[in-house]
Amino acid sequence: VQICHNGEEKWVPEQAVPGHLGHGDNLGECQSGQRQSEGAFATDKKAQLRVYPNPATTGLSVDLGTNPNTVSRIELMDLSGKVVRSAEVGSNLQFHWTVSDLQRGIYVLRLKGRKTQSSKILIK
């Protein structure tokens, strides 16, 4: 599985993914300007995206910061790729989803925009 570890792309065995995600690594390729931070990652230095709490137990908050134009849709997916929550961004920059009905496990937050797609792993 490909991960972004301290700004560097690495391949790790599937069973090692939860440990890497637990200390702040991200699934997939490193995005430009990506940095390590508990429950947060950035698409650039001016537009801060925050996802909290991580791990989530009852609710999950997504704050798009000051960057509404690069993200048009957000989706929460299980590891099979099934979308379990989704929202069109529009003018809303903050979202809160109840997640207490979801099974315990690892989920991917996908950000869809004009140019790129980003993802963040969430452990519930």
> Domains plus CATH for the chain?
2-123 (2.60.40.3080)
The Cα–Cα gap between 97 and 76 comes to 10
Among the listed residues 101, 69, 23, the one whose alpha carbon sits nearest the alpha carbon of residue 6: 23
The answer on pLDDT for 41 being more than 50 is no
Model pLDDT, residue 10? 84
Identify the sign of the CA torsion 11, 37, 53, 88. Answer: negative
Nearest to 26 by CA among 103, 113, 100, 117: 117
Q: Name the nearest CA neighbour of 124 among 113, 74, 108, 80.
A: 108
Short-list 110, 105, 68, 106, CA closest to 85? 110
How much is the pLDDT for 101?
92
pLDDT given for residue 117 in this prediction:
58
Question: For position 84, what pLDDT does the model report?
Answer: 94
Residue 119 token pair = 């993802």
**Higher-scoring residue by pLDDT: 61, 2:** 61
Mean pLDDT of 19-37: 65
Mean pLDDT over each residue of the chain, to the nearest integer? 75
- pLDDT tens per residue, range 59-99: 888 888 776 567 888 889 888 889 999 998 888 888 899 99
